[in-house]
Amino acid sequence: MASDDLKNVQKIGFILIPRFALMSYASAVEPLRAANLLAGRDIYALSAHVVEGNVGMTSSGIPVPATPLPGRGAGFHTVFVCAGGTPVDWNVPAVLACLRQLARDGVRIGGISGGPYLMAAAGLLEDRDFTIHWEHAPALVEAFPRLAPRQARYVLD
């Protein structure tokens, strides 16, 4: 691939929290993969990342190949946090530090399913418009009473 082609590729990462929902992850990844297929070239370079090891485990026990959390200067355009299960299990300092660093680097960050909970825990949702899966909204509001998620399928801010 020529260097001009690489400049036009959006590098998108997915941080997979243990027991994330495969349906949520696939709903985000598959349209991007299909766009690459329809374009006949890479528009999106996708990668999955975990805190430790080389596999993200879904809530249904299906492994997804992954690499360690991205470091400073990884060159991402966008990173999504994909979380499912119980918010009490999501206090992962390495993920919170990674999200803060990505934000300082100017990377767009999004949350899928329970992902916004981790974004809130990292301090990234103050004065932001956002939503979270309805199942996780009460826990987010209880843990972060100054934040008010919107009831919507998605929110861009």
- How many Å apart are CA 143 and CA 155, to the nearest integer? 21
Whats the size of the chain, residue-wise? 157
The structure's pTM equals 0.87
* Burial degree of 109 (CB within 10 A; 0-12, 13-18, 19+): buried
Condensed to tens digits (0 to 9), the pLDDT of residues 18-72 reads 999 999 999 999 999 999 999 999 999 999 999 999 999 999 999 999 999 998 8
In 10 A of CB 66, how many CB atoms?
21
Query: Which residues, at least 6 apart from 19, have a Cβ–Cβ distance to it below 8 Å?
Result: 57, 58, 59, 84, 85, 89
Condensed to tens digits (0 to 9), the pLDDT of residues 97-135 reads 999 999 999 999 999 888 888 988 898 888 775 767 777
Q: In this structure, what DSSP letter does residue 69 have?
A: P
Cβ atoms of 123 and 99 closer than 8 Å: no
Q: In this structure, what DSSP letter does residue 71 have?
A: -
* Burial degree of 38 (CB within 10 A; 0-12, 13-18, 19+): exposed
Alpha helix ranges (H) inside the chain: 3-7, 22-39, 93-104, 115-121, 137-143
- How many Å apart are CA 87 and CA 57, to the nearest integer? 16
- Say which residue the tokens 């100054």 belong to: 146
